[in-house]
Amino acid sequence: MALLADLAALRARVAASPGRLEKRRLVAEYLRALGPDDLTRAVTYLSGRAFPVSDPRVLNVRGLPVAESGASSQAPLVLEDVARTFDDVAAAAGPGSRRQRDSLLTELSARASDAERDLLQRIVYGEMRMGLSEGLVLEAIAEAAGVAPSLVRRAALVTGDLTAVAPLALGPDPAALAAAQPRVFVPLLPMLAEIAVGPADALAAHEGATAMEYKYDGARIQLHAAGDRVAIWSRRMSDVTRSLPDIVALARDNLVGAAPLILDGEVVALDPAGRPLPFQELMRRFRRVRGVEEAMGSLPLSLHLFDCLMADGRSCLDEPYTRRWETLARVTGGRWLAERAMVASVEEGDAFMARALAAGHEGVMAKDPRSPYEPGGRGKKWFKLKTALTVDCVIVAADRGSGRRVGWLSNYHLAVREGDGWAEVGKTFKGLTDREFTEMTERLRALATADDGYTVRVSPEVVVEVDYNEIQKSPTYPSGFALRFARIARIREDKAPGQATTLDELRRLYDLQFATKGRAEP
């Protein structure tokens, strides 16, 4: 039985170690000595969670109650004690449940030493603060098992849960890791696309033939079904099942014949004439958990499916796109499919894109017919072709407004991802309505980390899609780039900060600009 005290001591050693390799070595050494059950618990807690990412339960508490330590007079706490308490706290419901949850955690706290109590508090708050990212935990699992990190990474992406991977990597079956399969009702990261200038880029990358689909101005969903149960997750892997009862009913009535299944698709909001509404209108419906029935009537949704990750309980991830599409057509009876065409020339691609734009959609996707589905992957196997030049940035700071914008935080500092950090690429105060300025000001103030009286630095959590005219070289920003005429096109509630544009992608977009214009000599 693994002692909680040992995990607390490990946390302290890792936090005190400045080097990444030493942190990884310490965690690997600890994990190697654990049995399967404790291994799962330890990886969960080291990731700053009370439950695995695939477990929808929450503690629903404000923190760990203060209690006098009674650790010296009781048996030492083990990880199983913590897991059992968390199970009971999550199960508490009904009248008096808050008191019951507090009582359970108070009892656990009273048995803990100061170091153990500190660890428990960090788990409850979901913030370990020891310089141990999930990626480093993944590498530690690989080191403990003596396997390549790429094997562990793929298994984590395929299963959707790092805690499920640790027992596979460190278990008795050496083939288990490579044989990892997706699990219904455990969401997977969606496969992503690079930006391309036009059909010619996609055709060149896909060796002369590409599958084009309408790129809908909607919200990405992942639909899971088995038996009578249907569940839907957003692009950010948030459970949105309660917000989409009409899509749930459609799936339950029409798709469960091929269950267990996992499908990838998009939902789009429609106006009374059946035309797609702007993305922001969809978000009003997508986040709703009350008044859903009323919203269904005033803001109906259309479903467009474009990939099949599992059918009949069998993984389709490693099959080529063309075969996955055939399976998708079979399980849907050919209904609710994204508009699609196989394209072999630039002229065909241009014509298909023109039809998509004329229908009110954003553009098109171009997919390599031979490509497998890679959860979380982004590359040249999938491209998105849009007329507008946009990138997804994170707001990292905001200046106080002046003139008619007095009282608002309204000049937003925009950044793209650079490794584990952020690289600023410009500012903008354009694109939001007065109401959105007000709401954004309140939101950013709640995320504030520093304030010099003019600029408020904020935690990088708000993702915005930014239109721009051009990417320029810039001596002002350490990133080396600046977005010219930046304007917020929309707030991307459906995207997590980790899904924002990277600095490497911005560099590629900068270079792509010179496909149609000259490049000045340095």
Beta bridge partners of 449: none
Interatomic CA distance for residues 19 and 139, integer angstroms:
14
Q: Do residues 369 and 209 touch, judged by C-beta distance below 8 A?
A: yes
- Name the DSSP letter for residue 399: E
Count of CB atoms within 10 A of residue 106's CB? Answer: 15
Interatomic CA distance for residues 157 and 26, integer angstroms:
24
First to last CA, the chain: 64
Interatomic CA distance for residues 495 and 480, integer angstroms:
25
Q: Which of 373, 377, 364 is nearest to 307 (CA)?
A: 373
So which residues are the catalytic ones?
A: 215
User: H/E element holding 194?
Assistant: strand 192-195
Interatomic CA distance for residues 89 and 488, integer angstroms:
42
The sign one gets for the Cα dihedral 368, 370, 374, 377 is negative
Exposed e or buried b for every residue in 344-375, given b needs 16+ CB within 10 A?
eeeebbeebbeebbeeebbbbbbbbbebbbbb
Task: Give the chain's radius of gyration (CA, Å).
Answer: 25
- Name the DSSP letter for residue 96: T
Q: Whose structure tokens read 């810039």?
A: 474
Phi, psi of 226 (to 5 degrees): -160, 130
Interatomic CA distance for residues 435 and 409, integer angstroms:
12
Interatomic CA distance for residues 220 and 222, integer angstroms:
7
User: H/E element holding 39?
Assistant: helix 36-46
**Encoded amino acid at 499, one letter:** Q
Strand residue runs (E) in 401-480: 409-418, 421-428, 448-451, 455-458, 463-467, 470-473
The sign one gets for the Cα dihedral 418, 423, 428, 432 is positive
Cβ-based burial of 95 (10 A; exposed 0-12, middle 13-18, buried ≥19): exposed
DSSP string over 324-392: HHHHHHHHHTT-SBPPEEEE-SHHHHHHHHHHHHHTT--EEEEE-TTPPP-TT-EEEEEEEEESS-EEE
Does residue 300 have a cis bond before it (omega within 30 degrees)?
Answer: no
Interatomic CA distance for residues 79 and 46, integer angstroms:
12
